[in-house]
Amino acid sequence: MNEYGLRGRRPRRTKIVVEDTQPLDFQAFHTLYRGDYVRWAELYLGSRADAEDAVDGAMLELLAQWAKVLEQAEPAAYAWWLVKNRVKDAARDRDRRQKMADAIFATRSLYENVVDPIGELETTMALWQAIDALPERQHDVALMRLALGRTTRETAGVLGITEATVRSTLRDARRRLAEALGYDLKKGHDDARNVD
């Protein structure tokens, strides 16, 4: 039992509270992006509490250097880079990085009535493994768009890239995923053209 009387849960180490004394643009940034950062980090770390710890730590770093962040050509891209590095550090520190294949056990398809649950499981595992093997930018875009269901505009905002870059990166990611999964896009099923 911890100090809160809960078994298995530990108190959060880092907590950022948005206060009126903080710059208004930071408050807006925090409100706009923290939720997406936490959802991405949870996929990466496999734990909501660890994701919140890592993201809040990154937000504290951003706040401490907010003037420098605003001087960047793309502040959102700089913030994304900092969040990703904080999350990767958390994974390394805790030695708990779960492969994307492990995340399939949290997917709702396992809780629904499916005709072939083993086939569904194998397909889902293969998809997560293929996503995990994508190059970094394609991986990030694929997770935002396909796993988290974000629009092109939302993904561009979170990652600090243009909408055109999101679309082309997702197109490339879908081609790689189709290739990895043995799916022939030339047979008239090229959904990669319709990314939004």
135-158 confidence digits (pLDDT tens): 999 999 998 898 888 999 999 999
Q: How far apart are alpha carbons 131 and 143 in whole angstroms?
A: 8
Q: How far apart are alpha carbons 65 and 113 in whole angstroms?
A: 50
Cα torsion 50, 36, 97, 106: sign: positive
- Mean residue pLDDT of the chain comes to 77
Average pLDDT, stretch 160-166? 95
The residue whose two tokens read 């030695």 is 95
Most confident of 9-18, 42-51, 152-161: 152-161
Decide: 100 and 126 in contact? Cβ < 8 Å: no
Structure token pair of residue 89:
């550090």
Q: What is the pLDDT of residue 162?
A: 95
Task: Please check the confidence at residue 15 and state whether its pLDDT lies above 80.
Answer: no
Q: What is the pLDDT of residue 187?
A: 62
pLDDT tier for residue 192 given thresholds of 50, 70 and 90: very low
The tens digit of pLDDT for each residue in 84-126 reads: 999 888 887 765 444 444 454 555 444 455 566 566 666 667 7
